[in-house]
Amino acid sequence: MDARAARKERRVRMGHGKLRKFAENETFACLVQPDGREILADGYSTLRDHPLKGHWFEGSGAPIVLELGCGRGEYTVELARRHPDINYIGVDIKGARLWSGAKQATQEGLSNVRFLRTRIELITAFFAPGEISEIWLTFSDPQLGKENARLTSPLFLERYRQFLAPDGVVHLKTDSRFLHEYTKALCADNGLPILACTADLYSEHSHSGPHPEPHPSRQGVSPQRSRAVGDSLPSVSELALLGSGSAAGMTIQPEVYEVQTYYERMFLEQGYKITYMAFRPGGATPIVSPASFDKDYWRAAEGPRRTFSHR
């Protein structure tokens, strides 16, 4: 068999595999797959509410934590295993990826796990004000040239405000120094409390990456330096993974680095640094783009993106 025929056969096998997963997805009670056309029937500016909005875990009373762009769902499932008293929802648009997490949750009988297949731009159609306690963003696409597509952009943070609890927390874990520094500058410029922040989560394991020497920020603080801002810890759930005593002023609990995605492990094996920060986006003042962020510097520092998909 020549190379072209071999590639064609692989594509056919992959296609059959996806069809099998799509069919099995229909059997998973934990996986919600709404029709986007119904949500968008009145246009993007007036999304129609999904029936589950405000009713995801009826009678539970436990906090609900979202993972946006959850991919295969390994982060959502592992957190749910560790915290049966907290509810988790993983959100992604790729059904073949969600199949993995939904199947695992189904096989293990995890009643505190749901998955939602939808575009994140439509997220406000699914959750009521104050319904969500925390959001995890794990290895999101940094969208180097498209700020409004960035999951920590003012556009998305304003959406999160519509359903996050007043003291709700956003966790950002990424291999992208560009996205990390952008989000840190956005928090600083908008006065959003940063609860924990490190540019090298696994420094104790001597992981290193191809990042440049730090470039001084306009506030006079080195972007390389881990730091924490804010007087109190999040009280929204037991995933307030912050204590005291670290060089940054707070300790990031082991769970943050013990729970890893497939691509996170791959990045670590290749020597890339993993960053982490947690912040509160709540408030009524409109969030604006960070004027202090040196996008040209950090875009150059980012270098070429990985040759494999984040998801």
Whole-number Å distance between alpha carbons of 50 and 53: 6
Candidates 2, 35, 141, 167; catalytic one: 141
Residue 91's closest CA among 165, 15, 30? 30
Of the segments 13-17, 46-50, 307-311, which one has the largest average pLDDT value? 46-50
pLDDT 10s digits, 110-121: 999 999 999 999
pLDDT score, position 270: 86
Residues 22-31 have a mean pLDDT of 93
Mean pLDDT of all residues belonging to the chain: 82
Q: pLDDT tens digits for 221-272?
A: 333 323 333 333 332 233 333 333 233 445 677 778 889 888 888 888 888 8
Each residue of 100-145: pLDDT tens digit?
Answer: 999 999 999 999 999 999 999 999 999 999 999 999 999 999 999 9
CATH architecture under which domain 17-302 falls = 3-Layer(aba) Sandwich (3.40)
User: Does 69 score more than 70 pLDDT?
Assistant: yes
Residue 277 predicted with pLDDT over 50: yes
pLDDT band for position 304 (cuts 50, 70, 90):
confident
Res 31: pLDDT: 96
The string of pLDDT tens digits covering residues 153-179 is 999 999 999 999 999 999 999 999 999
Could you tell me which of 173, 213, 172 has the C-alpha nearest to residue 298?
213
Strand ranges in the chain using DSSP code E only, listed in sequence order: 31-32, 64-68, 87-92, 113-117, 132-138, 164-174, 194-198, 275-279
pLDDT at 91: 98
State the average pLDDT over residues 79-97.
95
Higher per-residue pLDDT: 61 or 254? 61
141 is catalytic: yes
